[in-house]
With several copies, the nearest count.
Chain A
Amino acid sequence: MGVPVTIRLQEADFDTAREIAAMSAGRTDVGAVVSFSGVCRGGPDGDAIDGLTLEHYPGMAEAEIGRHVAEALARWPLMGVTVIHRHGRIAPGENIVLVVTASSHRGAAFEAAEFLMDYLKTRAPFWKREERAAGANWVDAAAHDDAAAARWTKS
């Protein structure tokens, strides 16, 4: 029996609550569930973001997330992994991404969720375009995200 894995790319919003509940429903072997929700920020007053458009590379996005989930399963004793990433138009306050990890102990669940988020940020083929009153612009990649991802590289 394998570990339950859910990977979904979708335009529609998702129900974080349902995804977390599904991870431990009807099971008594899961001791720890960690979730990460990435939410579209509206930006500070005076520089308000009206929303995001997320472009993605269909086919590669699924493949790349699948590879990282497989690596997480190999590195930590996980009992379930869910990754959902939206694409298309996303309004401030709406969900962008969800990662849920389950394990019998909390350390594995926390580390695997951070690992998956660091890789989604830097290796999954998605590109954010911010819309402001002054116009739209592509978000620059952040050096601190590359640094975060680099800490998982085996030396």
Chain B
Amino acid sequence: MKVVYFAWVRERVGKAEEIVEPPAEVSTVGDLIGWLAGRGESYAHAFEAPNVIRAAIDHAHAPPQTVIAGAREIALFPPMTGG
């Protein structure tokens, strides 16, 4: 499963993308964020406030309860500030 990061999430994690293989009990976007936060100090910093993290699955916004099974690309990022 490919995960991509943007803005300060990318800076804190220290990479723009990676392939991860979460265990089977990680079934939703919220679960994935929690699981990533446990992967080390940089991840803990990036995901220290899970409620501000936004996610997209295959280029469409996905709230925390969205099931991630079948996703090709999951993006995690801060609230958007375009326009």
On whether A and B touch (CB less than 8 Å), the answer reads: yes
Task: List A residues at the B interface (Cβ < 8 Å).
Answer: 38, 54-57, 59-60, 63-64, 85, 96-97, 117, 120-129, 138-142, 145
In the complex with contacts A60-B56, A125-B56, A127-B7, A96-B77 CB distance below 8 A: no
| Contact between A59 and B78, CB atoms less than 8 A apart | no
| Contact between B82 and A126, CB atoms less than 8 A apart | yes
| Contact between B56 and A120, CB atoms less than 8 A apart | no
| Contact between B83 and A55, CB atoms less than 8 A apart | no
- Complex CA distance for A60 and B75, rounded to whole angstroms: 10
**CB nearest neighbor in A for B8:** A138
| Contact between B75 and A139, CB atoms less than 8 A apart | no
- Least Cβ–Cβ distance between B57 and chain A, in angstroms: 10
In the complex with contacts A57-B56, A59-B59, A60-B56, A127-B6 CB distance below 8 A: yes
Inside 8 A of B78's CB, which chain A residues have their CB? 127, 138, 141
Question: Top 8 closest A-B pairs, CB basis?
Answer: A126-B82, A141-B79, A127-B7, A121-B83, A120-B83, A60-B59, A139-B81, A128-B81
- Least Cβ–Cβ distance between A61 and chain B, in angstroms: 8
Residue from B4, B6, B77, B80 with most neighbouring chain A CB atoms (10 Å): B80
| Contact between A85 and B82, CB atoms less than 8 A apart | yes
Whether a CB of chain A sits under 8 angstroms from the CB of B15 is no
- Complex CA distance for A44 and B8, rounded to whole angstroms: 25
| Contact between B83 and A63, CB atoms less than 8 A apart | no
Whether a CB of chain A sits under 8 angstroms from the CB of B20 is no
**Contact partner, A123, options B6, B75, B77, B80, Cβ 8 Å:** B80
Inside 8 A of A96's CB, which chain B residues have their CB? 83
| Contact between A57 and B75, CB atoms less than 8 A apart | yes
| Contact between A54 and B82, CB atoms less than 8 A apart | yes
Inside 8 A of B81's CB, which chain A residues have their CB? 121, 126-128, 138-142
- Complex CA distance for A38 and B83, rounded to whole angstroms: 7
Q: Return the CB mask of B40-83 against A: 1 if under 8 Å, else 0.
A: 00000000000000001001110000000000000101111111
